[in-house]
Structure 1
């Protein structure tokens, strides 16, 4: 094996409004994925071969990430040592400008490490505000939450329903009837489902103090493809469905 080829676990974040999602899309597509930009940044490092990022899991159009993860093999020319973790982070971030994508950390891992298969858990947070429509929100909030026109949520009923989702269940009713799901098990285990009051990022602004924000948190080792958003997207077109998903992938780095 070439000693200059090193596998890294990369932690990164992004503001997902302008991207088709996190995974790579064809370069002919008008809107690209976050992975496309990570790989374009890596190729500017004058590597041997192509740097292919393997993402720990998907996020969709308009979804943001506080921390997502991927692994990538970086091979340099003969005679050049592998990048240190710090230099790799700085170099990738330099070439990601001006995209709203930032590499947070890089860790050298063994050659058989896999970002998706070695993930221990994934956490999604959906941010909801009640009592207004999207255009009543501060412009800084509009792509960071879902505005529900109802004046309030029935939190007690939601908590009761959340308790029913905890544990191991067959989530077939939460996935799309798609051929790509035929060979995927619908049996999943939710370890956390919380509904908690939250606040605006601008609580000091008087005109927004009456808005009520909520964080809906879901944690599991894995989820079904499109499990979370399936039902809501039946009522909301993709280009108006704006929410924040915090991707916190706990990894085994070696």
Structure 2
């Protein structure tokens, strides 16, 4: 970044934003020639930020990476805006409005912005993140899924799930463990040990897009919360819990898979489709105003240098 004129005021903001991930290669920006074939959510955020009139380029630092096709009800990022000398910093409300005005993709929306200290980091300051995965049963073929639900859930070719067994299996995942068995290659990490604070399976409200003749269609959610996750850990854990729900695994076998630390086994190497996964929220502590501290989610402990990923 270039240097700013003397007397110009720099302000750092924490921004919460959401997106439907279907059209994107992920949240991370795509640089160079690859922009011709793929684009990330961050690209559009940065292009909107460029129109804020900052005297230095605005870099958007995203809290939580998500893969291609994964959605976010609420992700977070920080950015610095340095206005011309004599111009006061944007209020958080004005910044959020301006970003939404300049966003050119309809599948992205800025939810809220907050002023934060100049050394605040959206990734490393997050205290918790949560993910939600949506499942659907009662749909024999993908083309029978309501078009408004496609790319927003995993349509299972079954009429029922053993949810009680799934809930029992999820209990084996709670706590602090070596989650190597649920890690995909591609994101080196110093340690595979994570603490899973919450893992639950529950019925989801009926889809408002299902017609009366589609009464057999039912939805379920799987939710996880932790300080941080290994690469594709959420989608691998979901796939294993679905295998339990279908009767292919027992809850006790899930415990054995976890303890095996083997990521190449028959069931733990399966990855649930990206389309059903939502980053639900990101939580921060110790910020004035309380709102960021109440944003729930799957996260990274303060001071940690690992990038969380579902």
TM value normalised by structure 2: 0.75
- The secondary structure found in structure 1 opposite 2:97 is helix
Question: Which residue does the alignment assign to 2:251?
Answer: none
Q: Secondary structure at the match of 1:176?
A: coil
Q: Say if 1:125 and 1:218, in contact at 8 Å, map to a contact too.
A: yes
Tell me, yes or no, if structure 1 residue 34 matches structure 2 residue 41. Answer: yes
Asked whether the 8 Å contact 1:192–1:219 carries over to 2, the reply is: yes
Does residue 1:220 correspond to 2:220, yes or no? Answer: no
Counterpart in 2 of 1:104?
Answer: 111
User: Which residue in 2 is equivalent to 1:248?
Assistant: 281
Deviation at 1:77, TM superposition (A): 1.6
Over aligned residue pairs, what C-alpha RMSD do you find?
Answer: 2.1
Which is further off, 61-70 or 26-35? 26-35
1:5 is aligned to 10
Displacement of 1:229 = 2.5
- CA shift in 2, pair 1:226/1:184, >3 Å: farther
Aligned length: 250
Match for residue 264 of structure 2?
none
Q: Secondary structure at the match of 1:248?
A: strand
Distance in 1, matches of 2:127 and 2:195, equals 12
Q: Does 1:160 align with 2:165?
A: no
Q: TM-score, normalised by structure 1?
A: 0.91
The answer on 1:139 being equivalent to 2:147 is yes
Aligned ranges 1:225-244 → 2 under 5 Å: 225-230=231-236, 232=239, 241-244=274-277
SS at match of 2:87: coil
| 1:174 counterpart residue number | 182
Deviations 1:20-57 (A, max 9, x none): 11111114322211111000000012211211111111
Shift of 1:207: 2.1
- Equivalent pair of 2:146/2:210 in contact (CA under 8 Å): no
Point out the structure with the larger helix share.
2
Distance 2:26 2:210 in 1: 33
2:81 paired with 1:63: no
* Contiguous gaps of at least 5 residues in structure 1: none
Task: Determine the C-alpha separation between the residues in 1 that align with 2:105 and 2:177.
Answer: 43
Q: Determine whether 1:76 maps to 2:73.
A: no
Partner SS state of residue 28, structure 1:
helix
Provide closer, same or farther for how the CA distance between residues 11 and 241 of structure 1 changes in structure 2, counting only shifts above 3 A. Answer: closer
Q: Distance in 2 between matches of 1:235 and 1:167?
A: 22
